[in-house]
């Protein structure tokens, strides 16, 4: 009887092992509940149109969602270089339309957003008048190199020529243009024009801060 009981006990233990009865439970790894980060559209400050070599753009995602937790890495492709960080600043050196791409990633994956930024140049032919009655038309070739402006032009009414002096400058919001007009070999007019940009940098509206003449609108022809 003792041997039979042992055999029965052994059989019961074998059966329990086969059916899982009285065996330690094995924990199943939980399904991950996280995921790749998602980002909204890209905010561009001060605007999506700026001045090449001058405007310092600030770019950032409008929203960031990180369901997976952990650290999100932000990688920027500006079209002329790259950067990292959720909010970045960048100056585009040349006139162009740049496709800007942001990639946000974590251990679960990544997502992207894109926008375009256009930069313009002041280099070109500009026309205006430099008295308050719309007289004295002038045409100037302006050359922009970063924040420095140079150039030359003519006043058809006075049969005069003019130079934009080297200490003329451009900023993201406007210009300070110093001009000497000549009826060879003498300077007959010298003035400083301070203006702000209109029409996506194709017009400059301003006033004369020194000198006896003045012009209101300076328009770019080409």
In the chain the domains, ranked by start, together with CATH numbers, are 38-120 (2.60.40.10), 124-220 (2.40.128)
Q: What is the pLDDT at residue 147?
A: 96
CA pair distance 28, 22, nearest whole angstrom: 18
Rg (CA), the chain: 35
Buried b / exposed e along 114-126 (16+ C-beta atoms within 10 A): eeebbbbbbbbeb
Is residue 143 exposed (0-12), middle (13-18) or buried (19+ Cβ within 10 Å)?
middle
What mean pLDDT, rounded, does the chain reach? 81
Predicted model pTM: 0.76
- The values of phi and psi at residue 144, to 5°, are -110, 130
Cα–Cα distance, 43 to 107 (Å, whole number): 25
C-alpha dihedral, 144 to 145 to 147 to 149, nearest 10°: -40
pLDDT at 36: 92
Helix (H, G, I), strand (E, B) or coil at 200: coil
Q: Are 110 and 70 in contact (CB under 8 A)?
A: no
Distance CA 100, CA 81 (A): 10
Q: Which two tokens stand for residue 98?
A: 């740049």
Q: Quick: pLDDT tens for 92-141.
A: 999 999 999 999 999 999 999 999 999 999 999 998 876 655 567 888 99
Q: What angle do CA 121, 220, 211 make, to 5 degrees?
A: 100
């Amino acid at each position: 009887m003792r041997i039979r009981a042992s055999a029965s006990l052994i059989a019961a233990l074998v059966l329990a092992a086969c059916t899982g009865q009285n065996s330690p439970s094995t924990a199943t790894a939980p399904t991950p509940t996280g995921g790749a980060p998602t980002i909204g559209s890209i905010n561009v400050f001060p605007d999506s149109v700026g001045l090449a070599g001058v405007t310092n753009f600030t770019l950032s995602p409008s929203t960031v969602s990180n369901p997976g937790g952990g650290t999100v890495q932000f990688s920027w492709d500006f079209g002329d270089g790259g950067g990292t960080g959720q909010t970045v600043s960048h100056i585009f050196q040349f006139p162009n339309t740049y496709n800007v791409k942001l990639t946000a990633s974590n251990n679960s994956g990544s997502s992207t957003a894109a926008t375009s930024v256009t930069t313009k140049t002041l280099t070109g032919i500009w026309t205006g008048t430099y008295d308050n009655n719309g007289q004295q038309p002038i045409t100037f070739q302006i050359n922009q190199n970063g924040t420095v402006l140079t150039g030359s032009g003519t006043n058809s009414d006075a049969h005069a020529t003019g130079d934009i002096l080297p200490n003329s400058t451009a900023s993201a919001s406007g210009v300070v243009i110093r001009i000497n007009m000549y009826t060879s070999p003498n300077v007959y007019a010298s003035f400083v024009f301070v203006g702000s940009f209109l029409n996506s940098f194709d017009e400059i509206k301003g006033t004369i801060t020194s000198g006896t003449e003045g012009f209101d609108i300076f328009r770019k022809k080409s």
